[in-house]
Amino acid sequence: MTDVLFRVKSRALPVGRRAWIMGIVNATPDSFSDGGLALDPQRAVARGLALAEDGADIIDIGGESTRPGAEPVPAAEEIRRVLPVVQGLRKRTAALLSVDTTKAEVAEAVLDEGADIINDVSSFRLDPRILTLAARHGAGFVLMHMQGVPRTMQVQPRYDDVVAEVKAFLAERIDVAEAYGLSRESIIVDPGIGFGKRQRDNLALLAGLRALTELGRPVLVGVSRKSFIGKILDSPPEDRLEGTIAAAVVSLVNGAAILRVHDVKAVSRAVRVAEAILAGADGVIPPREKTGGYVH
């Protein structure tokens, strides 16, 4: 895969020939896999720094669980959870900082404190003001597909052709985001594995991921510890590492540019081997050098 330019604030970064790793910091009490483990800001900052040390190019911080059935959190509480984490990490790492939120109030607070990317699972359908804020700050923006909202998304989701429908949705969201003033080069797209999807839909999306690369934007895939892996392996979230690695490598082969994971070190090492194999004996892999905490 050739590089796609990703613009975030004053940076123009090539993404594609080597996968980026997005590490997860859940500053929540109820996330499906690790809720409560990083609820204390100091522990959350320590986790983020450890993820950067393990090879994360982006640290994604969330203050509201988006697991199936999750209830929304007031903006003030979400800010209370994530703002100290952004502030603490910004002082100690130059890694790209992403905040997982659907609320303009939260986005404004974290962007003012140095966050680089807004990761919006609703693709700004819940609060269109978030786009204007992102555009004004020159921030990156993740557009994700989700059928419904977290509280109801797993209540009988249906698709005729999940790959085509997700692709069409993301194409439409890109166009609307541009109309709001967001640069196309600042956009990342995410098919939303597990967000309003049946088991067959998740597997079909991962198998057909290459179609989403035709949108011309980096494709982010979040498969880490998710329930589709649990159904295959009959295992709880904390026992899904091997399945996560397998799904991450398949996603890479099928065109993913960014992998969102809990287990950064293990996935990063697996991806390095996969990339070397894909490059072949005469292939050239860009060196995994870091500049200030992110791939350059």
Six-digit token string for 190: 């995410």
pTM for this predicted structure: 0.91
18: tokens are: 């080597």
* Strand partners for 5: 14
Nearest-angstrom CA–CA distance, 73 and 94: 29
Q: Which amino acid is at 199?
A: Q
264-279 and 241-253 are packed helices; what angle lies between their axes, rounded to 10 degrees? Answer: 40
Catalytic residues, by residue number, are: 226, 260
In the chain, the amino acid numbered 172 is: E
**What are the sequence ranges of the domains in the chain?**
4-295
pLDDT of the chain, 296 residues: tens digit per residue = 678 999 999 899 999 889 999 999 998 875 545 544 556 899 999 999 999 999 999 999 999 987 777 778 899 999 999 999 999 999 999 899 999 999 999 999 999 999 999 999 999 999 999 999 999 999 999 999 998 777 776 777 889 999 999 999 999 999 999 999 999 999 999 999 999 999 999 999 999 999 999 999 999 999 999 999 999 999 999 999 999 999 999 999 999 999 999 999 999 999 999 999 998 865 556 555 554 444 43
127: its two tokens: 């609060």
DSSP secondary structure letters along 17-62: SS-EEEEEEE-SS--TTTTTTT-SHHHHHHHHHHHHHHT-SEEEEE
- Retrieve residue 207's tokens: 């198998």
What's the rounded Cα separation, in Å, for the pair 90 and 114?
Answer: 6
Give the residue among 74, 87, 71, 73 at the shortest CA–CA distance from 61: 87
Query: How far is Cα of residue 190 from the mean position of the Cα atoms in its chain?
Result: 7
pLDDT score recorded for residue 283: 56
Residue 51 · residue 25 · CB < 8 Å: yes
Output the pLDDT for position 296. Answer: 37
Q: Which residues contact 158 (CB under 8 A, 6 or more apart)?
A: none
Is the distance from CB of 124 to CB of 117 less than 8 angstroms?
A: no
Q: What is the pLDDT of residue 291?
A: 41
Would you tell me the crossing angle of helices 162-179 and 199-207 to the nearest 10 degrees?
A: 70
Closest CA to 1 of 262, 210, 293: 210
* Residue whose C-alpha is closest to residue 19's, from 293, 252, 283, 265: 252
In order of 38, 134, 191, 204, 212, the CA distances from 165 in angstroms are 35, 26, 10, 12, 11
Domain 4-295 -> CATH class? alpha beta
Beta strands in 178-275 (DSSP E): 187-190, 220-222, 258-261
Length of the chain: 296
The helix/strand/coil state of 110 is: helix
